[in-house]
Structure 1
Amino acid sequence: MAAEVGDPAPQFSLLGTGGKTYCLSDFRGHPLVLAFYPEDFSPICTAQLNSYSSATSDFQELNATVLGISPQSLESHDEFSRRLNLTFPLLADVDKEVAIAYDVLGPLGFYRRSVFVVDAQGVIRYAHRTRAGLSFRSSGELLDVVRSLQ
């Protein structure tokens, strides 16, 4: 069953950059942006995560956190994050259980570029799943969604 707007966000606990474990419940009380992306070091993923990283202060002003999630290893995420100088954590969903819970797997089990905004109570308030993954939701659009939750 797909995670949809109005549903409680599926729980997760994943290792992320910085050697920390991140759980959905850690972010209860303020908005959370979950950016599912297909692959570290790919051109579109690089552009997407750079865009979100450059808007970190705008998200922080709204008391919102951004998390990037993909199926690559923690080592890959650490290197990708370091090279891009990202300002938010990348989480390793190597077994794709979180991707399954959020219904972001496409044909052949590949991640579809997807983004969710979860409100302070843990409810999904925005969901977008791409079909082809050649574009991504802008920081401005996501910031507007987070502002609407205030």
Structure 2
Amino acid sequence: MELKIGDQVPEFTAKDQHGATFNWSEHLGKPTVIYFYPKDDTTGCTAQACSFRDEYQDFKDLGAEVIGISGDSEKSHVKFAQKYNLPFILLSDKDKIIRKLFNVPTNLLGLIPGRVTYIVDKEGTVVSIFNSMKATNHIPVALNAIREMK
């Protein structure tokens, strides 16, 4: 079942880039941008992550958090975060459990994991969804959606 605007984000748990356990329910209470991306350290994913990094203070100033999710390992996320100075949470979804919970589609005949951004209000309700393989287009869409919540 596809996660739609107005739906509650389902409870999920994952390891972040530091090996700590992340529980979604513990992060309610502030607007959140949850973005799914295909792979660490690839051209589009690096551009997307660095764009989120460059605008991260704007998200924080609006009281929002940014969370990136891919199928890469925590070790891969550590290298990716360090290499590009990424200040936000990266979650490892090696078994694609979270991707399946959100029903994130694949692209290119099912070969590439999809790139979808969910903007969630402080109660955990999805208020906006942006699905595009154009990596850097996600950041202004997410920032505008967060601004509209204020």
Task: State TM-score, norm by structure 1.
Answer: 0.92
1:126 corresponds to:
128
1:58 corresponds to:
58
Tell me the CA shift for residue 140 of structure 1: 2.5
CA distance in 1, matches of 2:84, 2:3: 30
Q: Is the CA contact (8 Å cut-off) linking 1:3 and 1:10 kept in structure 2?
A: no
Q: Is the CA contact (8 Å cut-off) linking 2:130 and 2:138 kept in structure 1?
A: no
Q: Is the CA contact (8 Å cut-off) linking 1:115 and 1:137 kept in structure 2?
A: no
Query: 1:116 is matched by which residue type in structure 2?
Result: Y
CA distance in 2, matches of 1:114, 1:137: 11
Give yes or no for the alignment of 1:31 onto 2:31.
Answer: yes
Tell me the CA shift for residue 109 of structure 1: 6.1
Tell me the CA shift for residue 128 of structure 1: 1.6
Query: 1:92 is matched by which residue type in structure 2?
Result: S
- Alpha-carbon deviations, 1:48-98, whole Å to 9, x = none? 000001111101111100000000111111111111110101100000010
Tell me the CA shift for residue 110 of structure 1: 3.6
In the TM superposition, 1:33-52 aligns within 5 A as 33-52=33-52
Q: Is the CA contact (8 Å cut-off) linking 1:31 and 1:118 kept in structure 2?
A: yes
Tell me the CA shift for residue 108 of structure 1: 3.4
CA distance in 1, matches of 2:105, 2:134: 15
CA distance in 2, matches of 1:68, 1:121: 19
Tell me the CA shift for residue 45 of structure 1: 0.3
Give yes or no for the alignment of 1:137 onto 2:137.
Answer: yes
CA distance in 1, matches of 2:63, 2:27: 10
CA distance in 2, matches of 1:22, 1:137: 27
Unaligned runs of 5+ in 1: none
Percent of residue pairs identical: 32
Tell me the CA shift for residue 143 of structure 1: 1.3
Counterpart secondary structure, 2:34:
strand
CA distance in 2, matches of 1:110, 1:97: 16
- Alpha-carbon deviations, 1:25-63, whole Å to 9, x = none? 122111000010000111000000000011111011111
Unaligned runs of 5+ in 2: none
Counterpart secondary structure, 2:137:
coil
CA distance in 2, matches of 1:96, 1:109: 14
